[in-house]
Amino acid sequence: MAAYNKFNSFVEALAEKVHNLGADTLKVVLTNSAPVAGNTQLSNITQIANGNGYTTGGATVTVSASSQTSGTYKLVGSLVSPTWTASGTLGPFQYAVLYNDTATNDELIGWWDYGSPVSLTSGDTFTITLDGTNGILQIV
């Protein structure tokens, strides 16, 4: 399973009403350039090339639940996870970056590191498996 990391600016943006995680459009983009915690918006990320099954701007995440229990907020993605199907060579990429497409500056939320570069050949698919139990993220 890929390691999830949050961008530092996400905490401030959340506190200052930039994000409405239960209602905003969240997307995931693919990159082969390592994100850093200090990145703040999508323009800081170098996405892989458009084409061969990838569209610049990424894939939409379907939020199936956004709620809190006993003071812990959990954002859960549906079983329809972001998926790409290669129609040629797609990649390489090592990181999947979650961002808020509704926010004015496409503010960043977090990223997953897959540990090594991934390349797809025509017909291959890549799916980001969103944790249906623990959620995409939790805020305690």
CA angle 58, 140, 40 (to 5 degrees): 35
The reported pTM is: 0.92
pLDDT value of position 139: 87
pLDDT value of position 24: 93
pLDDT value of position 1: 63
pLDDT value of position 78: 65
What does DSSP assign to residue 54?
A: B
CA angle 36, 38, 42 (to 5 degrees): 80
pLDDT under 50: residue ranges of the chain: none
pLDDT value of position 62: 83
pLDDT value of position 134: 74
